[in-house]
């Protein structure tokens, strides 16, 4: 990897400030949806289309860009309530404070 590629892989811009083309151009390693940032009408299909576009751009290999799958992050400290129609559970920080790993695992299965 070149120095520029390494720097890009350590960078995580907010999705409203980077396009899929820029993910490839700058070798971006991760994109974040933060503070209620959501695509389109905030439907599951909108999220799939958006993340697929970022992933496809990250995987377009050529002489200047290595195909490395992008990591997509969502600021979900308050749970995954940012997707319209999502099943809402208590905030993640509250689940951690509950000290019940089995409960968190069951919630994870429903969320996945």
**pTM for the predicted model, two decimal places:** 0.76
Q: Are residues 11 and 60 in the same domain?
A: yes
Q: Please indicate, yes or no, whether residues 50 and 105 belong to a single structural domain of this protein.
A: no
Residue 68 main-chain phi, psi, to 5 deg: -125, 120
Total domains in the fold of the chain: 2
Same domain, 8 and 53: yes
- In this structure, the answer to whether residues 39 and 53 fall within a common structural domain is yes
98, 70: one domain: no
Q: Are residue 53 and residue 95 in the same domain, yes or no?
A: no
Domain region containing 96: 79-112
Same domain as 46, residue 21: yes
- Residue 67, φ and ψ in degrees, nearest 5: -80, 100
pLDDT in tens, the chain (112 residues): 999 999 999 999 999 999 999 999 999 999 999 877 889 988 889 999 999 999 999 999 999 999 999 999 988 776 666 667 777 888 888 888 999 999 999 988 987 7
């Amino acid at each position: 990897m070149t120095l520029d590629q390494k720097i890009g892989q350590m960078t995580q811009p907010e999705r409203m400030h980077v396009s899929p083309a820029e993910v490839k151009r700058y070798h971006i390693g991760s994109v974040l949806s933060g503070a209620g940032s959501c695509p389109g009408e905030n439907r599951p299909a909108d999220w799939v289309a958006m993340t697929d576009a970022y992933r496809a751009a990250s995987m377009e290999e050529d002489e200047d860009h290595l195909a490395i799958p992008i990591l997509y992050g969502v600021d979900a400290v308050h749970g995954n309530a940012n997707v319209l129609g999502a099943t809402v559970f208590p905030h993640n920080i509250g689940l951690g404070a509950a000290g019940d790993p089995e409960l968190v695992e069951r919630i994870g299965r429903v969320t996945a």
